[in-house]
């Protein structure tokens, strides 16, 4: 099974995705980690334009892990139909659960973004202005939409794991 997350920075998707991966003993593919490896590993600055390279690497890693029969949790902003369709194609014959994470409380979302500490596994965190300016298309066809203004990461992970168990043959 492929579990694909989507959501703006600061909504809590990585916290939820990590908890889901831990509970399901799944491979966790976090785009931030891949992008850090690409930029810092090549000696590039954090703001270097690496295009879609992080996503392309993640798609290949997901395919390889799915071929082994593993569950894969894909954790990224995944902001547009193009990337979402690509994840569906990666799933091919595997079950695919699509999860959009939002935070409907803008003041709380902003507080989270502005209060983020540096994460060694991620590039420099975006500012609130960068989050607001980021292109992000809503995902109405996602099977789950979790609002972290109403639901903590642990409870949200339970919802995702329960949904995954219902989908898995």
> Where do the structural domains in the chain lie, given as residue ranges?
8-167
Q: What is the pTM of this model?
A: 0.93
Q: How far apart are CA 117 and CA 61, in angstroms?
A: 28
- Which two tokens mark 151? 């639901």
Residues in contact with 30: Cβ distance below 8 Å, sequence separation at least 6, in sequence order: 14, 17, 18, 75, 76, 121
In the structure encoding, which two tokens stand for residue 34, read together? 């891949």
Mapping DSSP onto H, E and C, the string for the chain reads: CEEEEECCCCCCHHHHHHHHHHHHCCEEEEHHHHHHHHHHHCCCCCCCCCCCHHHHHHHHHHHHHHHCCCCEEEECCCCCHHHHHHHHHHHCCCCEEEEEEECCCHHHHHHHHHHCCCCCCCCCCCCHHHHHHCCCCCCCCCCEEEECCCCCHHHHHHHHHHHHHHHCC
Report residue 150 as tokens: 């109403």
Hey, what are 102's tokens? 């939002």
pLDDT score of 127: 87
Q: What is the pLDDT along the chain (169 residues), one digit of tens a residue?
A: 999 999 999 999 999 999 999 999 999 999 988 998 888 888 887 777 888 999 999 999 999 999 999 999 999 999 999 999 999 999 988 999 999 999 999 999 999 999 876 665 666 778 899 999 999 999 999 999 999 999 999 999 999 999 999 986 5
Tokens of 157: 């992970």
pLDDT for the residue numbered 146: 97
Structure tokens at 65: 């892990």
pLDDT for 21 equals 98
**For position 57, what pLDDT does the model report?**
95
Q: What CATH homologous superfamily does 8-167 map to?
A: P-loop containing nucleotide triphosphate hydrolases (3.40.50.300)
């Amino acid at each position: 099974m492929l579990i694909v997350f989507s959501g703006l920075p600061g909504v809590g998707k990585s916290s939820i995705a990590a908890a889901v991966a831990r509970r399901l003993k799944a491979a966790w593919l976090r785009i931030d980690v891949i992008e850090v490896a690409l930029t810092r590993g090549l000696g590039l600055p954090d703001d270097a334009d690496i295009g879609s390279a992080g996503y392309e690497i993640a798609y290949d890693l997901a395919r390889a892990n799915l071929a082994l029969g593993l569950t894969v949790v894909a954790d990224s902003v995944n902001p547009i139909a193009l990337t979402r369709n690509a994840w569906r194609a990666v799933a091919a014959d595997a079950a695919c659960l699509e999860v959009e994470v939002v935070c409907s409380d803008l003041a709380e979302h902003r507080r989270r973004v502005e209060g983020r500490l540096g994460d060694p596994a991620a590039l420099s965190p975006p500012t609130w202005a960068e989050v607001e300016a980021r292109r992000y298309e809503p995902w109405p066809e996602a099977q789950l939409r979790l609002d972290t203004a109403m639901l903590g990461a642990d409870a949200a992970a339970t919802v995702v794991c329960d949904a995954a168990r219902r989908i898995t043959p």
